[in-house]
Amino acid sequence: MSQARNEPETAEVDRLLTAAARVIAGVRYCWLVTEAGTGLNARPMGHLAAPNHEWNIRFVTDGRSRKASEMRRARKVALIFQSDQGDAYVALNGRATLIEDEAEVRWLWKRAYDPYFPNETDKANAAFVQVGVERMELWIRGVTPEPFGLRATRLDRGSAGDWRLSDNMAA
Q: pLDDT tens digits for 19-35?
A: 999 999 999 999 999 99
In a 10 Å sphere around its CB, with 0-12 CB exposed, 13-18 middle and 19+ buried, how is residue 144 labelled?
Answer: buried
Mean pLDDT of 103-110: 94
Q: What is the pLDDT of residue 150?
A: 87
Quick one: pLDDT band at residue 52, thresholds 50, 70, 90? confident
| 147-153 LR contacts (CB < 8 Å, sep 24+) | 148/87, 152/91, 153/16
pLDDT at 6: 76
Task: Report whether 83 contacts 27 (CB < 8 A).
Answer: yes
Q: Is-contact 23 86, C-beta < 8 A? A: yes
> Confidence class of residue 162 from pLDDT cuts 50, 70 and 90?
very high
Percent share of the chain, pLDDT over 90? 77
Cis bond upstream, residue 115 (ω within 30): no
pLDDT at 1 over 50: no
Tens digits of residue pLDDT in 59-75 = 999 999 999 999 999 99
pLDDT at 94: 97
* Whether pLDDT at 5 is above 70: no
The domains of the chain, with CATH numbers, are 3-170 (2.30.110.10)
Q: What is the pLDDT of residue 169?
A: 57
The pTM of the full predicted model, rounded to 2 decimals, is 0.88
Give me the mean pLDDT over the 84-113 stretch: 94
pLDDT of residue 65: 95
User: For residue range 118-154, what is the model confidence (pLDDT) as tens digits?
Assistant: 999 999 999 999 999 999 999 999 999 988 888 999 9
Count of C-beta atoms within a 10 Å radius of residue 150: 12
Cα separation of 139 and 124, whole Å? 39
Predicted local confidence at residue 102, as pLDDT: 93
The letter for the amino acid at 42 is A
Instruction: Choose among 134, 128, 75, 79: nearest CA to 101.
Output: 128
